[in-house]
């Protein structure tokens, strides 16, 4: 039976092959399609991105170690029909030992021009699926009203005492993908 997570709640993952599914429903009548983008940020023990190639998103679908694979961009949120809008397949056995944490964020593309924010999005969630049993293990439904936020850290996988854990985050930012790249990047910022 799946666990319904609360903000800040942490669980042991106990699996190596999982999928992180992210979903949302844009409100109707805003005048523009919503293009929400799921990304994963692979960071080290100093909370820095290992390299630009460890930023997994619609233009970089696979991590260098083969541990993460983004299934692709859904530019309108209309491809899911009630299921996950975007997914990232994770094989924790392949994730480099240098990676101590994987953040899962969702941002709104062109939010300024389209005058969009997460307050106009409903039914947002992140969930963990067991790839071997094809079953939902845990789900966190984003309940807050993010009326100015344009980027949200939905959750994170992290190592603790040699095991992987998951935390439901729900932290909002007025941000785009570039913000997250700059926040965690270890070297020269590439624009």
Do 111 and 176 form a contact (C-beta atoms < 8 A)?
A: yes
Give the span between the Cα atoms of 114 and 183, in whole angstroms: 24
Max Cα distance, the chain (Å): 49
Half-sphere exposure of 160 (CA within 13 A, CB side): 11
pLDDT digits (tens, 9 = 90+) for 14-25: 999 999 998 888
pLDDT digits (tens, 9 = 90+) for 96-108: 999 999 999 989 8
Q: Which residues contact 81 (CB under 8 A, 6 or more apart)?
A: none
Is the pTM higher than 0.85? The answer reads yes
Question: Is the pLDDT at 78 greater than 70, yes or no?
Answer: no
DSSP 55-77: EEBTTB-B-TTS-EEE----SSS
Taken in order of first residue, the domains within the chain and their CATH numbers are 3-184 (2.60.60.30)
- H or E element, residue 160: strand 151-160
């Amino acid at each position: 039976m799946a666990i319904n997570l609360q903000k800040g709640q942490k669980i042991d993952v106990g699996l190596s092959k999982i999928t992180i599914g992210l979903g949302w429903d844009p409100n109707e009548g805003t005048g523009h399609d919503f293009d929400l983008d799921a990304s994963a940020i692979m960071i080290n023990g100093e909370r820095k991105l290992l390299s630009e190639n460890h930023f997994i998103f619609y233009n970089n679908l696979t991590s260098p170690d083969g541990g993460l694979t983004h299934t692709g961009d859904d530019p309108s949120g209309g491809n899911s029909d009630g299921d996950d809008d975007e997914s990232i397949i994770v094989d924790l056995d392949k994730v480099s030992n240098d990676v101590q944490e994987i953040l899962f964020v969702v941002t709104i593309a062109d939010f300024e021009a389209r005058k969009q924010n997460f307050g106009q999005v409903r039914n947002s969630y992140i969930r963990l699926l067991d790839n071997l049993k094809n079953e939902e293990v845990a789900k966190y439904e984003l309940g807050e009203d993010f009326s100015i936020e344009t980027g949200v850290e939905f959750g994170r996988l992290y190592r603790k005492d040699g095991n992987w854990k998951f935390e439901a985050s729900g932290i909002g930012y007025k941000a785009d993908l570039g913000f997250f790249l700059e926040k965690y990047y270890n070297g020269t910022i590439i624009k």
